[in-house]
Structure 1
Amino acid sequence: MAGRLVVVDDTEDLLFLIEEALVRDGYEVRTAGDGAKALELIRQDPPDAVILDLWMPEMDGFEVVRQLKDDPLLQHLPVLIMSAAGTQDNKIHGLDLGADDFVTKPFDMPELVARVRMVLRRTKISLDANPLTHLPGNTTIQSRVEKGLRRGGPLAVLYCDLNDFKAYNDAYGYAAGDHALKETARVILEAVKAAGAAHEDFVGHVGGDDFIVVTVPGRMEALAVDVCARFDAAAPSLYKDEDRTRGRLLSKDRKGNAVEFPLMTIAVGVCHNSLKPLSGYSEVSALGSELKKAAKTKPGSAYFIDRRT
C-alpha cells in the first residue's frame, strides 16, 4: 500500500474521480464532503496525508489546516490544498498556516497523484518520526540536544519512562499498549504547551515507553510535576473498571498463577547544566538513564532532579 489518505471536497463527482485515481495508484482513501467530517475522520484514525479543498460550506480548508496544526498529535500531517481560487494571497495564507502544497483547479489527475507522492516522500525524509506517536525519534533527539549544548545556554532534559508498562501491555494486548503510549505522548505535549513554551521546548519519543523533553532549567521542575500529575489523571481511564476499582492490575504469569501489578505511573529523570556543565549527548543520555532509575525508586509517579555540583 502506497499510503493512507483523507480526501476532502464538497463536489461529489470530483471527489469520486480523485479517490479513483489515488486508489488506482495504490493508496487507501477515505473521503469527506466537508471540513467538520474531515476532522472527525482524521482524529479517529490519522492518515499519512490530507488532500483538502479550500472553499467548502460551514468550515473552509483554512480552518481545517489551522485546527490540524494546533493539535500536537496531528500537526505533523502533510496537507495538500486544492482550490479553483488559486490566487497568490490564498497560496501564501495556506502555506503560512502549515499546508505543504497548493494545487490550482482544474488540474490533471496525474499531476495531483505525483504531488501526493512528492509530499509523502518529502515528509518521510524530513521527519525522523516514531511511527506510533509521530514524535521525533532518536536522530532528531540527538541533534536537538547537541544543538542546545553547542549554543552554550541553559539546558535541561527530562527523561520520561512508564512504570509497569510491560505488565499492562501483556495483560491488555498491543493495541491497548499502543493507545497508552499515544496517551503518554499527549500528556507530555499538553504539559509542554501549558508551560507556555511549546515553540521553544522539544518533545521526542526515544522508543517503547521512553520519551524526552528538552527545555531550560527555569521550567524543568514545573514541567516534571505537571507531567506526573497529568499522567496520574489520565492513567485510570486506560484500565477496565475492575482493575481501576481495585487499584491494581490482576493478571497471570506464564505458569497460570495469579499475579498483581500496580497501575502504571511515570518516572521522570531530569539533568541540566545550571549547576555543572554537560559535556555531550552521551553524558546527557547516561545521566538521564541514571536519574530516571532514581525516580523509579519513589512510590507512584515521581521525578528526580540532579542537584549535584
Structure 2
Amino acid sequence: MNYSALPEPMVDRILVVDDVADNSFLLQAFLELEGYQVEVADNGYTALEKIASEPPDLVLLDVMMPGLNGYQVVQQIRQNRQLPFIPILLVTGHDLSALPPVDGVKVNGLIHKPVVFDELLAQVQALLRPNLQQDLN
C-alpha cells in the first residue's frame, strides 16, 4: 500500500490571544503537546489581522487587554460576515458574572485563570469535535 498517497490528517488551528507573554506561552505549549497547531497574538488588533487572513478553528481570547479588549475583539469577529463561524473561548482572571452582558459578545465558553488544563482541553475538544463522543458510541 502506498501510504504517501494518503491525505494528511487535519490539524486544528487555535489562535491564542493574550497580552501577557507567559500566559500565551503556557497555553501554546500545552495545546501543541495535545497535537494542535497554535498561533499567538499579543493584542486584539493583531488577532483580528490573523483571523482575517487565515481564520483559525478556535480562538482562546483574554478579556482584559490594552487597546482592543476581548469583548471588542469578539464583537468585531461576530460582525464580520465574511468570516466563517469561529468558536471563541474567553480566558479571564475576573468574575464576569458581576459585569453586565455586552451586545454582540457571543462566546462558546469561559476559562478561568489560573487555567486548569484538563478543563481547557475538555472545552477545546468539545468545540472542535462536537460529534466525537457520538461517533465513538
Flag whether TM exceeds 0.5 (same fold). yes
In the alignment, does 2:57 pair up with 1:48? yes
Higher mean Cα deviation, 80-89 or 53-62?
A: 80-89
Which of 22, 26, 29 pairs up with 1:20? Answer: 29
1:81 aligns with 90
2:108 maps to 1:100: yes
Query: Could you tell me which of 114, 125, 137 is aligned with 2:122?
Result: 114
When the two chains are superposed, the root-mean-square deviation of aligned CA atoms in Å is 2.1
Distance 1:95 1:113 in 2: 28
Pair 27,8 (structure 1): closer, same or farther in 2 beyond 3 Å:
same
| Alpha-carbon separation, structure 1, partners of 2:109 and 2:62 | 12
CA distance in 1, matches of 2:93, 2:121: 18
Q: Secondary structure at the match of 1:80?
A: strand
Q: 2:55 and 2:42 mapped to 1: Cα distance?
A: 17
SS at 2:85 equivalent = coil
- Higher RCO by CA contacts (8 Å cutoff, separation 6 or greater): 2
Distance 1:7 1:95 in 2: 23
Kindly tell me the number of residue pairs found equivalent between the two proteins.
123
Q: Which runs of 4+ in 1 moved over 3 A?
A: none
Query: Residues 247-258 of structure 1: matches in 2 within 5 Å?
Result: none
Shift of 1:18: 0.3
Q: Which amino acid aligns with 2:128?
A: L
Residue 95 to residue 20, structure 1, CA distance change in 2 (3 Å): farther
Residue 95 of structure 1 and its aligned partner are, at CA, apart by 9.3
1:112 alignment partner AA: L
Equivalents in 2 of 1:15, 1:79: separation in Å?
Answer: 16
- Write the distance in 1 (CA, Å) between the matches of 2:124 and 2:103: 16
- Kindly indicate which of the two structures has a greater share of residues assigned to strand: 1
% identical equivalent positions: 34
1:97 match: secondary structure = coil
Preserved contact between residue 87 and residue 108 of structure 2 (Cα < 8 Å): yes
Counterpart Cα distance in 2 of 1:115 and 1:69: 20
Residue 60 of structure 1 aligns with an amino acid whose one-letter code is N
Match of 1:34 among 31, 36, 43: 43
TM-superposition CA deviations, 1:265-306 (whole Å, max 9, x none): xxxxxxxxxxxxxxxxxxxxxxxxxxxxxxxxxxxxxxxxxx
Q: Which has the larger radius of gyration?
A: 1
From the superposition, tell whether residues 51 and 74 of structure 1 become closer, same or farther in structure 2 (CA, over 3 Å). same
1:117-172 deviation digits (Å, cap 9, x = unpaired)? 111123x79xxxxxxxxxxxxxxxxxxxxxxxxxxxxxxxxxxxxxxxxxxxxxxx
Report Cα offsets for 1:218-249 as digits up to 9, x if no partner. Answer: xxxxxxxxxxxxxxxxxxxxxxxxxxxxxxxx
Consecutive unaligned residues in structure 1, runs of 5 or more: 126-309
